[in-house]
Homo-oligomer: A and B are copies of this chain.
Amino acid sequence: MAKKKSGTKSASSTPYRDALHAAPGIDLAGIDTRGTPAFDGDKSAGKKALTALAEPVSDLQERLFAEATAGGHRRVLLVIQGMDTAGKGGVMRHVVGNVDPQGVEITAFKAPTAEELEHPFLWRIRNALPDAGMIGVFDRSHYEDVLIARVHDLVPKSQWSRRYTTINTFEEEVADAGTTIIKVLLHISFGEQKERLAERLDRPDKHWKFSPADIDERAHWDEYQQAHQAAIDRCSTEVAPWYVVPADRKWYARLAVMNLLNEHLEPMELQWPEADFDVKEQRKRLLRS
């Protein structure tokens, strides 16, 4: 009944999960960044499909939230990674922005503060994990500690190389606590990034999003791709799989992430909590009040 009401497909139909799942050993370089896996239509159809998902996904989010008010422990953690300009902000705005902001907690991880650096790398991540009933969204994450940290030798190799195992153990623990983990890599091309940075330079209302360091980072593009590949090879697990979303087309990337969210919420079979009071009795009391 829930499924009929929300108008979504059956839980067994997970085309985006299947099409975008990145198992260890997948060749990242072989994935077309302009592709639109699991979707046949054009941009206009894609935008409509995204809008059409807003209501069913909102409905599922509210059920998740309601479940926690009745003692449920389940929650969702959506991790968004990607190179500069890959569209992380757009996903926050146009995907996450489709659900009730009361049920969502976005954390943007920047360069660690002095306080954060004094703690193990997962400390600030643990502090930002979603409460029961919430959809937590990480704009960058603990994966920066095996991406930028690896590319720029922020810590010795002996240290970052141990982190993959640490991350897997951590994510297992998070999953055991009732968290559905969805890890998304927004995958853009070197050329597409150039165009997007050029647009930021061309538009005065985008200058604030640009930093000269963004261009410095382009010199390390291949190393970042290797680091992404390693993150997938080492950390795409059953409880916390990676999904690679082709992101040269912004509309597709947003549609894909929305579908991934939907296809993870659906099989949870979220139900409205049963009343823990006698409805008839309360109706009588209300009438007299």
Contacts and interface: CB of A to CB of B under 8 A. Distances in A.
Contacts of A100: 92-93, 97
Interface in A100-135: 100-102, 104, 106, 108
A282 B92 contact: no
A118 to B, nearest CB: 21
B285 A208 contact: no
A46 B106 CA distance: 30
26 contacts: A70-B208, A93-B101, A93-B102, A96-B101, A97-B97, A97-B100, A97-B101, A101-B106, A194-B289, A197-B286, A198-B286, A201-B283, A204-B272, A205-B272, A207-B272, A207-B273, A207-B274, A207-B279, A208-B272, A208-B273, A208-B275, A210-B282, A212-B277, A212-B285, A215-B282, A215-B285
Interface of A: 66, 69-70, 89, 92-93, 96-97, 100-102, 104, 106, 108, 139, 194, 197-198, 201, 204-205, 207-212, 215, 218-219, 272-275, 277, 279, 282-283, 285-286, 289
Given A93-B101, A205-B272, 13 more contacts: A69-B208, A92-B101, A93-B102, A97-B97, A97-B101, A102-B139, A194-B286, A201-B279, A201-B283, A207-B273, A208-B272, A212-B277, A215-B285
